[in-house]
Amino acid sequence: MIGSHVKTEDDRAPSWPRAPAAAEWVGYLTVGPLLLGLAGVGLLEGYAAREMAQRATLGWGAALLAFGGAVHWGLMLAGRLPWTAACLAGALAPLAVAALAVLIGGQRGLALLVVGFGGFWLYEHRVRAAQLPPDYVSLRRQLSIAICSVLAVTMFLSDAAGIA
């Protein structure tokens, strides 16, 4: 039954199985395409190639942000997070921010993704941490720092390369 494992204020924190080491490695591997995009913006010849690398970085970053919200959606479907307006907004906001970042594009889109990842991490850390698996919260913190760093450097390098 959906909702049978939802934590209420009277319940203890839900128990979570330990995440497999492979899950952590896969999480870290998702930063790889962002690093390739950063390298492309900095090293490729010609405006068109650099712009394509920037767009690829923006698209991958947007996919990662939307995926973070999808995790919360899945936890709601599994009954591990409550079906409240706040949880629903927390699950869907990353998708909206990611789509807007792609629509805006360029350096501004990259900046919006940095804000989106930072804001989503704050939401998870400050509002939902007690309801999320501890391994997940720890991994998300590390990945958020890495992703925000790479996106910010890509934004600054795009500026230096003359890509709006």
Model pLDDT for residues 117-147, shown as the tens digit of each residue: 999 999 999 999 999 989 899 999 999 999 9
Q: Is residue 16 part of a domain?
A: no
Sequence letter at residue 145: I
Report the b/e string of 92-117 with b at 16+ CB within 10 A.
ebbbebbeebbeebbbebbebbbebb
| Pair 131, 80: CB distance under 8 Å | yes
Does 150 map to a domain?
Answer: yes
- pLDDT higher than threshold 70 for residue 3: no
Residue 132 in any domain: the answer is yes
Whether 10 maps to a domain, the answer reads: no
How many domains does the chain fold into?
1
pLDDT at 2 over 80: no
Q: How far apart are CA 107 and CA 104, in angstroms?
A: 9
**Given a cut of 70, is residue 51 above it in pLDDT?**
yes
- Structure confidence at residue 10 (pLDDT): 43
Residue 6 lies in a domain: no
Round the average pLDDT of the chain to a whole number and report it: 91
Q: Judge contact between 18 and 135, C-beta under 8 A.
A: yes
**pLDDT grade, residue 14 (50/70/90)?**
low
Average pLDDT over residues 72-99: 96
Report residue 60's pLDDT band, with 50, 70 and 90 as the boundaries. very high
Give the mean pLDDT of 103-112. 98
Residue 19 placed within a domain: no
Question: Is 89 domain-assigned?
Answer: yes
- Domain with 57, as residue range(s), is 27-160
pLDDT at residue 82 in the model: 95
At residue 15 the predicted structure's pLDDT band, cuts being 50, 70 and 90, is confident
Report if residue 17 sits inside a domain. Answer: no
Amino acid at 151: L
Q: Are 58 and 33 in contact (CB under 8 A)?
A: no
Nearest-angstrom CA–CA distance, 110 and 108 = 5
**Cα(42)–Cα(143) distance, integer angstroms:** 22
